[in-house]
Homo-oligomer: A and B are copies of this chain.
Amino acid sequence: MQLNPKTQDFVERVGLALENLGTTRTLGRLFGLLLVADQPMSLDELARLLQVSKASVSTNARVCVQIGLAQQVGIPGDRRDYYEISPGSFEQAVAARLSAIRELVGLAEAGISAVDEDNRVATARLEEMRDFYQFVGDEMAKMMPRWRETRKPVNSRKRQR
């Protein structure tokens, strides 16, 4: 496989975007490459196309799998490791954000019990923080099933499988 300039640009943009979202650039590039791949890719192929060391791909691919962005897939008669985008990767990414938000609720509660009782302004602020992130977390959790709903076929006769 070979990368044309446009996909090269795309991979690079994904790298930057994911880096800004808290991952490393190489991991972002790896994810971007898997996004445009038409089939699972081996470590060597990934390393060659990304122009990074095999070691880096190894660790980054592992991380991708751990956080649910990619999955390992075997190919019969081949002992190499192949990777592809995992089916729920986008939902997974949002789920990770969700747990970060839940953490903020806990933080706000810790803050409330940390400040002096007579510090009304801080208490009110932290209560709003708690309520806000509680609200956002709940709403995001409710969002996901709704998304899956939109993916279902509109006509039950067309149901596959």
> B-facing mask of A115-131, CB < 8 A → 1, else 0?
11001111001101100
Q: Does A55 contact B (CB under 8 A)?
A: no
Q: Nearest chain B CB to A109's CB is how many angstroms away?
A: 10
Q: Does A37 contact B (CB under 8 A)?
A: yes
Q: How many residues of A contact B (CB 8 A)?
A: 50
Q: Nearest chain B CB to A139's CB is how many angstroms away?
A: 5
Q: Nearest chain B CB to A74's CB is how many angstroms away?
A: 18
B36 touches A114 (CB 8 A): yes
Bound complex: CA A22 to CA B30 (Å)? 20
What residues on B are CB-neighbors of A97 within 8 Å?
A: 97
What residues on B are CB-neighbors of A21 within 8 Å?
A: 22, 100
Provided the pairs A17-B107, A107-B13, A125-B85 are in contact, do residues A113 and B22 lie with their beta carbons within 8 angstroms? no
Known: A7-B115, A20-B22, A22-B22. 15 other contacts (CB 8 A): A10-B111, A10-B114, A21-B100, A35-B129, A36-B119, A36-B126, A38-B116, A38-B119, A85-B125, A90-B129, A132-B147, A135-B147, A135-B150, A139-B143, A139-B146
